[in-house]
Amino acid sequence: MRVKFNFGKPSGTEDLYDREDEVKKVISILTGNGSAALSSIRGMGKSLLVRAAAEHITDKAIVWIDLENVYSSLDLTQQLISGIHGAKGVSGADENALNEVRQNMLTSSFSASGFLDTYFNSYIFHVDRPVLVLDEITHARRLGRLYDHMMNILYHGVKHGAFQVMMISSEMGAMLETFNSKQLPFNSLLEWVSLKPLDEPTSVNFLFEGLEFYGASCPKKMIYEYYRITEGIPVWLALSGIRMVEGLCNPEGIYRDDRSVKYVLEQLVELSKKEIEMLRLISQKQHVGLAGTHLKRSLNSLIRKGLVAGAPSGYMIPDPIMEHMLKYEIL
């Protein structure tokens, strides 16, 4: 395998390093007509992993619905339509009907909820063996009742075997809340797939092989130090690799690298001042027990967003680069 370092641009699934077991697991669930959920912090390689597994599923229609940047009901409809269009091996996607929906979306009478009930539902019911991949599904929570409506359709569709789902989210807390809800007990219908950071030997091999491919090198000690700092999280390992190819053999430089700052900032921009204040307290290992109620509320929403996790020793920020930037006020 030729290791290439990809950061920030869509990487091809041929760039997937390791993860054989996880890919096999996803393939076996989907070929067995099951459904699954996958949650981890951002950058762990969820989307890449599922894309790689989906390439092996040739006898089902994979409908990839990206909910990452869904802010309105129109965005949601657009993503559903583009998912349908992008599904391989689907001949039933009626272009005229979809174009009509597109036209209607600009009129005041258009209802996304109606689209879900009529067009989307009937379309899915006519497709042979559809698998809906819902990437960053919990982001659609901001749509409120429309999200509940969509979850309702998904729950009953899976329950009655109309389709399978593969749900992906970086918001661990929100995902658990959704799946443990009493009304729609998704947990009983899904299998969880877990995704951990790459272990030390795998991470180090990834970096060594990539450096060899690019004809670059850095002292061995520094390569290990890059692993220690990034804790084997694929997106940070990939950036470490790129930095070393650029001749940047200083691992601590990753904390101030424009690309890291941008990647972390993208996750922080949507937070409130209180949430950021709370994140900083946690990064500095301060006692959040003493914080006021308004800050405690921020703690819960940070957990929901997957940016904070509860550890036996207290709360922690699972992304080591984000934690460092907050702790030393780089951000």
Ligand X SMILES: Nc1ncnc2c1ncn2[C@@H]1O[C@H](COP(=O)(O)OP(=O)(O)O)[C@@H](O)[C@H]1O
Beta carbon nearer to Mg ion, 82 or 217: 82
Interface with Mg ion in residues 33-92 (CB under 5 A): 47
Size, binding site for ligand X by CB under 6 A: 20
Q: Taking contact as CB under 6 A, which single stretch among the options 38-46, 73-81, 82-90, 294-302 is the one that binds ligand X?
A: 38-46
Residue among 62, 143, 151, 235 that touches ligand X (CB under 6 A): 235
DSSP summary character for residue 158: H
Query: Least distance in Å: CB of 16 to ligand X?
Result: 5
The set of residues, in sequence order, having a beta carbon less than 8 Å from that of 331 and lying 6+ positions away, is 261, 264, 265, 268, 325
Beta carbon nearer to ligand X, 6 or 104: 6
Query: Least distance in Å: CB of 11 to ligand X?
Result: 3
Q: For residue 64, state whether it binds ligand X (rule: CB under 6 A).
A: no
Residue among 36, 48, 137, 140 that touches ligand X (CB under 6 A): 48
The set of residues, in sequence order, having a beta carbon less than 8 Å from that of 272 and lying 6+ positions away, is 298
Classified as helix, coil or strand, 107 is coil
Cα-based distances in Å from 131 to 138, 140, 158, 159, 324: 18, 19, 10, 13, 39
Q: Are strands 314-316 and 130-135 parallel, antiparallel or unpaired?
A: unpaired
Is 3 in contact with 210 (CB distance < 8 Å)? yes
Closest CA to 68 of 134, 113, 16: 134
Query: Least distance in Å: CB of 170 to ligand X?
Result: 6
* Interatomic CA distance for residues 271 and 331, integer angstroms: 13
278-287 burial code (b ≥16 CB/10 A, e <16): bbbbbbeeee
Q: Tell me the residue number closest to ligand X, measured at CB.
A: 45
Residue among 197, 234, 251, 320 that touches ligand X (CB under 6 A): 234
Rounded to a whole number, what is the largest CA-CA distance in the chain? 64
Name the binder of 210 from ligand X, Mg ion, none, CB < 5-8 A by kind: none
* Interatomic CA distance for residues 48 and 41, integer angstroms: 14
Closest CA to 216 of 195, 186, 237, 243: 243
Q: For residue 238, state whether it binds ligand X (rule: CB under 6 A).
A: yes
Residue among 36, 44, 67, 326 that touches ligand X (CB under 6 A): 44
Query: Least distance in Å: CB of 225 to Mg ion?
Result: 27
* Interatomic CA distance for residues 87 and 273, integer angstroms: 41
Interface with ligand X in residues 152-191 (CB under 6 A): 170
Query: Least distance in Å: CB of 320 to Mg ion?
Result: 19
Classified as helix, coil or strand, 36 is strand
Beta carbon nearer to ligand X, 275 or 319: 319
Beta carbon nearer to Mg ion, 112 or 193: 193
Q: Taking contact as CB under 6 A, which single stretch among the options 43-51, 106-114, 287-295, 317-325 is the one that binds ligand X?
A: 43-51
Residue among 39, 47, 79, 164 that touches ligand X (CB under 6 A): 47
Q: For residue 17, state whether it binds ligand X (rule: CB under 6 A).
A: yes
Judged by the rule CB under 5 A, the positions of this chain that interact with Mg ion are: 47
Judged by the rule CB under 6 A, the positions of this chain that interact with ligand X are: 6-7, 11, 15-19, 40, 42-48, 170, 234-235, 238
